[in-house]
Chain A
Amino acid sequence: MTNTLNIKNRDLVLPGQLIGEKIRSDLECIREGASVFSPIQGLVKLNKREIGVIPLAGIYKPRREDVVIGVITKVLRDRWLVEINSPYSGSMSGEEATRNQSRVDLTDYFRIGDVISAKIARVDEVYSSTLILPWKLTDGQIIEVNPKRVPRIIGKKRSMINMIKEKTRCGIVVGQNGRIWIKGGQDNLVVEAIRKIEREAYTTGLTDRIGEMLDKCIQDTQKTKIKIE
């Protein structure tokens, strides 16, 4: 069995483009006999084991273990319904907040319009998700980004987001659904950095460039502070 590849790693492919023949591919790719085609526009991801396509655009689809930022849309007797920036909504059991959910009013904990960060525990076959470990986000700001850029914003082993947190001294929660919560520190700088990452997501050496940008901005603000004093 000979494997043929038509592309290199990180090549840009279009919907319907032939990626290769007789190769292992992830479930997203289209297989017709031995040939594998890309279903979307994206960058090819070559591993030792299989081939896949990193999407550049699209909506968020809930996945197990993801941390998301959602808005409470409905309070039922024993659970909350949560909007998670996706066509599929999440539901959270009252047990996440209280032990005797049958006796208390759940609006004591979260009301309609409250913003929470939570983890997805389960996703069923029609993508309805169950949320656990809610954390109410009271102050700070939330920005929305393209959900497909989130892995880039977090970086390999959280390198990018840890660097931003460290340099700007902000509290940041990145939801996989494309919502980012920022609080305290130099929050304007964080927004600027995230927008830059979003724009230049498909270029290399981005972490270093963002680091340089942040350092420069921080130095500038310090200089102006001294001037004012």
Chain B
Amino acid sequence: MDEIKLIDEKGIRLDGRKSDEVREIKMEIGVIKRATGSAYIEWGKNKVLAAAYGPRDIHPKHLKDPTRAVLRCKYSMAPFSVDDRKRPGPDRRSSEISKVITEALSSVVLLEQYPDTGIDVFIEILQADAGTRCVGLTAASLALADAGIPMKDLVAACAGGKVNGKLVVDLMKDEDNFGECDLPMAIVPRKKEVVLLQMDGILSRDEFNELYEMVMNGALKVYELQKEVLMKKYQ
């Protein structure tokens, strides 16, 4: 089978980006009035809404923890978010993403400050175009910051991958579908710690190290945008 050409000789990708370039990102916070905090991100063709509620009473009650708050994130895709209709409701994929996002955010939120409560974050994918878990996590961390929930730092996320044998940052849909590898990563920018790292596909060790640096730089660019949008609300 002929290989689908996703990058030309000059290293320009299908949508005109260079290999280390992140798609255009637009962020907004405080979009949902009833939520404690909320955020909306347009990242390339991705459109993601995140809302944080709480700290509030937690149900079911047996989840209550008298030493810390319980953080619950729920990732879900709208039926119209993809080409074919996505059957609504939780499935294997969204349960997994909810879990990894919850774990990523739990490591930065200061849960000990709100014992016996629950913090709920809902991430809704309105339009998907690869890398939605990164967009969702970035939006969720903005929503938590907007809600005034104490955190060690924001969380910024970005994906990377290997397409036609070349390493690129922030895959779009075709690159994700026909590429060789996908590597989403979320970081705590201040310390450059990794809070989420998944890999789908194959990379050599050297390739991984190189891609790690590229994705780290991509995520730091996302972090700058996050800071900008938070500052803008009170100026």
B57 within 8 A of A: yes
B123 within 8 A of A: no
Contact of B145 (CB < 8 Å), options: A14, A87, A126: A14
B146 within 8 A of A: yes
B131 within 8 A of A: no
Interface string of A25-49 (1 = CB under 8 A from B): 0001010000001011100000000
Task: Spot the interface stretch: B149-157, B177-185, B206-214.
Answer: B149-157
A190 vs B151: C-alpha distance when bound (angstroms): 35
> Chain A interface: which size bin?
20 to 34
Contact present for B36 and A16 (CB under 8 Å): no
Given A87-B117, A126-B116: A37 and B55 interface contact (C-beta under 8 Å): no
Contact present for A14 and B148 (CB under 8 Å): no
Given A14-B145, A41-B230, A57-B36: A87 and B150 interface contact (C-beta under 8 Å): no
Contact present for A57 and B234 (CB under 8 Å): no
A127 within 8 A of B: yes
Residues of B within 8 A of A (CB): 36-37, 54-57, 66, 110, 114-117, 145-154, 188-190, 227, 230-231, 234-235
A113 vs B66: C-alpha distance when bound (angstroms): 28
A84 vs B55: C-alpha distance when bound (angstroms): 14
> Which A residues lie within 8 Å of B55 (CB)?
59, 87
Contact of A41 (CB < 8 Å), options: B66, B114, B148, B152: B148
Contact present for B234 and A16 (CB under 8 Å): no
Contact present for B149 and A58 (CB under 8 Å): yes
Contact of B152 (CB < 8 Å), options: A16, A55, A87: A16
Min Cβ gap B124→A in Å is 21
Interchain residue pairs A-B with the least CB separation, the first 6: A16-B153, A58-B148, A57-B148, A39-B150, A87-B117, A15-B151
Contact present for B117 and A28 (CB under 8 Å): no
A176 vs B115: C-alpha distance when bound (angstroms): 20
> Which B residues lie within 8 Å of A126 (CB)?
66, 115-116
Of B54, B114, B189, most buried by chain A (CB within 10 Å of CB) is B114
Interface string of A1-33 (1 = CB under 8 A from B): 000000000001011100000000000101000
> Which A residues lie within 8 Å of B146 (CB)?
41, 57
A152 within 8 A of B: no
A55 vs B146: C-alpha distance when bound (angstroms): 11
Contact of A28 (CB < 8 Å), options: B57, B149, B150, B153: B150
Min Cβ gap A22→B in Å is 18
> Which A residues lie within 8 Å of B114 (CB)?
61, 87
A109 within 8 A of B: no
Name 22 A/B residue pairs within 8 A (Cβ), A-sorted: A15-B154, A16-B154, A16-B188, A30-B152, A37-B153, A37-B190, A39-B110, A40-B148, A40-B149, A41-B146, A41-B148, A41-B234, A55-B148, A57-B147, A58-B149, A59-B56, A59-B148, A61-B114, A87-B116, A88-B116, A88-B117, A202-B234
A142 within 8 A of B: no
Contact of A87 (CB < 8 Å), options: B54, B190, B234: B54
Contact present for A16 and B151 (CB under 8 Å): yes
A163 vs B167: C-alpha distance when bound (angstroms): 65
A148 within 8 A of B: yes
A76 vs B227: C-alpha distance when bound (angstroms): 49
Contact of B234 (CB < 8 Å), options: A12, A30, A127: A12
Contact present for A37 and B152 (CB under 8 Å): yes
Min Cβ gap B112→A in Å is 11
Contact present for A39 and B234 (CB under 8 Å): no
* Smallest CB gap from B69: residue in A: A87
A191 within 8 A of B: no
A210 within 8 A of B: no
> Which A residues lie within 8 Å of B56 (CB)?
59, 87
A189 within 8 A of B: no
A37 vs B110: C-alpha distance when bound (angstroms): 13
Of A37, A55, A58, most buried by chain B (CB within 10 Å of CB) is A58
A56 within 8 A of B: yes
Given A57-B37, A126-B66: A148 and B148 interface contact (C-beta under 8 Å): yes
> Which B residues lie within 8 Å of A15 (CB)?
145, 150-154
> Which A residues lie within 8 Å of B231 (CB)?
12, 14
Which of A65-117 touch B at CB < 8 Å? 87-88
